[in-house]
Amino acid sequence: MGRLEVLKTYKIYIGGAFPRTESGRTYPLHGKKGDLLANICLSSRKDVRNAVVAARKAFGGWSEKTAFNRGQILYRIAEMMEGRKAQLMEELVAMGFTKVAAEKEVLLSIDRCIYYAGWCDKYQAVVSSVNPVASAHFNFTVAEPTGVVAIIADEKTGLLGLVSLLLPILAGGNTAVVLASQSLAMSSITLAEIIHSSDVPGGVVNILTGDLNELAETFSTHMDINALALSRSTDLKKKIAENCTVNVKRFFSYDKNWADASAQGLHFISDFQEYKTTWHPIEKIGGAGGGY
Partner 1 sequence: MKTMVPNLKNIINHSPSIDKVGVEERCARFQSRSIKNESKWEGLKMVLSMIDLTTLEGKDTPGKVKQMCYKAHHLNDNMSDLPNVAAVCVYPSMVKLAKKELIGTNIKVASVSTAFPSGQAPLSVKLSDTKFAVDNGADEIDMVISRGEFLSGDYNFVHDEIATIKEACGHARLKVILETGELSTLDNVRLASDIAILAGADFIKTSTGKISPAATMPVTYTMLQAIRDHYVATGKMIGMKPAGGISNSKLALHYLVMVKETVGDEWLNNTYFRFGASSLANDVLMQIQKAKTGIYSSADYFSID
Binding site for partner 1 (CB under 8 A): 48-49, 52, 56, 218, 221-224, 246-247
Nearer Cβ to partner 1, position 98 or 245?
Answer: 245
Q: Report in angstroms how near the CB of residue 45 gets to partner 1 at its nearest.
A: 8
Bridge partners, residue 28, by sequence? 39
Based on C-alpha coordinates, what's the Rg of the chain? 21
Residue 77's alpha-carbon distances to 13, 55, 84, 137, 272, in angstroms, are 16, 18, 11, 42, 21
Q: Report in angstroms how near the CB of residue 56 gets to partner 1 at its nearest.
A: 8
Nearest to 215 by CA among 50, 55, 48: 48
Q: Report in angstroms how near the CB of residue 70 gets to partner 1 at its nearest.
A: 24
Q: Report in angstroms how near the CB of residue 243 gets to partner 1 at its nearest.
A: 9
Cβ atoms of 176 and 55 closer than 8 Å = yes
Nearer Cβ to partner 1, position 57 or 237?
Answer: 57
Nearer Cβ to partner 1, position 147 or 158?
Answer: 147
Nearer Cβ to partner 1, position 43 or 198?
Answer: 43
Cβ atoms of 200 and 192 closer than 8 Å = no
Q: Report in angstroms how near the CB of residue 185 gets to partner 1 at its nearest.
A: 24
Tell how strand 227-230 and strand 137-145 pair up. Answer: unpaired
- 37-57 in b/e form (b: 16+ CB < 10 A) is bbebbbbbbebbebbbbbbbb
Nearer Cβ to partner 1, position 17 or 246?
Answer: 246
